[in-house]
Amino acid sequence: MLAACGLGFSYRAGTPVLRDVSIELAPGSFTAILGVNGCGKSTLLSCLMGLRKPDAGQVLLDGVPMGEVKRRARAQKVALVAQHSHANRLTVYDSVLVGRHPLMQGAPTEADHVVVRETLERLGLSAYSLRYADELSGGEYQKMVLARAFVQQAETLLLDEPTNNLDPANQQEVMREVRREVDERGIAACAVMHDINLAIRYCDRFLFLKDGAVDAAGGRECVTPERIKRIYGMDADIIEHGGRLVVIPR
Ligand SMILES: Nc1ncnc2c1ncn2[C@@H]1O[C@H](COP(=O)(O)OP(=O)(O)OP(=O)(O)O)[C@@H](O)[C@H]1O
């Protein structure tokens, strides 16, 4: 399990971006990290991933400090869907196959190819297999990055704004597929989100960041009109519609 306690981080001395942030990503849970632009969400994710070293507190992967976990072991346990990743001159198929590398002993086996084919199919990308990744639309590319993370079959999946660039139907599909990984494989997922309605539909844990500190963490009960006002400065109603909670800005 991936967990962090008391994280502090600054890019520049005297300007803390994260302050005393604790989070636990339990198997079978899907956490949304929410908060205004610039409040530290992506920074938190990169600390959790071990890409940035916190100034205070620590990140633990199965109880071991992240800094002590070797890169390959880390990649076997934690997959990341980053906000910005650069396309290279690989086909979609090969770009997704790259996600299997932490699990491979040498050349890809038939089992690796099966996982890649099934994942491309599942995300509706089969027809793009032989296209070059740098020739995809923004949305197609985003789904390819998700496919690459899925084939890694890590216990923890971190996603930075995974529905960026996607049309409404694809946004639902991506969130549904992550939820399926959580429910069927028991992984822990954690996504930085801006769309509170997508978060409330698919996530079961919520961590609101305000000025780099945790304002609230918990289940759906912590998503209230008061919280939304406090975090975003926005008046909103939360209504029940067809058994689901929906946030409607006033
Ligand atoms: N590489 C960097 N060097 C210096 N400051 C940075 C760097 N990256 C981010 N920051 C600053 O740290 C703060 C938090 O940034 P971060 O990207 O974590 O916010 P965020 O909540 O993910 O924002 P958004 O919702 O806009 O993606 C911001 O004030 C940002 O300007």
Q: Tell whether the torsion through CA atoms of 11, 17, 22 and 26 is positive or negative.
A: negative
% of the chain with per-residue pLDDT over 70: 100
Residue-averaged pLDDT of the chain: 94
* Nearest CA owner, ligand 1 atom 6: 11
* Nearest CA owner, ligand 1 atom 24: 37
Mean pLDDT confidence for 148-171: 94
Q: Which atom of ligand 1 is nearest to the CA of 35?
A: 21
Phi, psi of 23 (to 5 degrees): -155, 145
213-218 β-sheet, strand order? 78-81, 156-160, 188-192, 30-34, 205-210, 213-218
* Nearest CA owner, ligand 1 atom 9: 43
Mean pLDDT confidence for 13-23: 95
Q: Whole-model pTM?
A: 0.94
ipTM for the whole predicted complex goes beyond 0.85: yes
CB count within 10 Å of CB 226 equals 8
Q: Which residues line ligand 1 (CB under 6 A)?
A: 11, 17, 35, 37-43
For residue range 26-51, list pLDDT tens digits in order: 999 999 999 999 999 999 999 999 99
Q: Does position 208 have pLDDT exceeding 70, yes or no?
A: yes
Phi, psi of 73 (to 5 degrees): -65, -40
Cα separation, 104 vs 190, whole angstroms: 25
- In CATH terms, 2-249 corresponds, of 3.40.50.300, 3.30.420.40, 3.90.1640.10, 3.30.70.141, to 3.40.50.300
Q: Does position 85 have pLDDT exceeding 90, yes or no?
A: no
Cα separation, 28 vs 204, whole angstroms: 10
Distance of CA 53 from the midpoint of ligand 1 (Å):
15
Using pLDDT thresholds of 50, 70 and 90, give the confidence band for residue 82. Answer: confident
Mean pLDDT confidence for 145-158: 95
The beta-carbon contacts of 163-169 under 8 Å, at least 24 apart in sequence, are 163/193, 163/195, 163/198, 164/83, 164/138, 165/137, 165/138, 165/139, 165/141, 166/139, 166/142, 167/139
Q: In whole angstroms, what separates CA 175 from the centre of its chain? A: 10
Q: Tell whether the torsion through CA atoms of 51, 49, 45 and 112 is positive or negative.
A: positive
Using pLDDT thresholds of 50, 70 and 90, give the confidence band for residue 92. Answer: very high
**pLDDT given at position 88:** 75
**pLDDT given at position 165:** 84
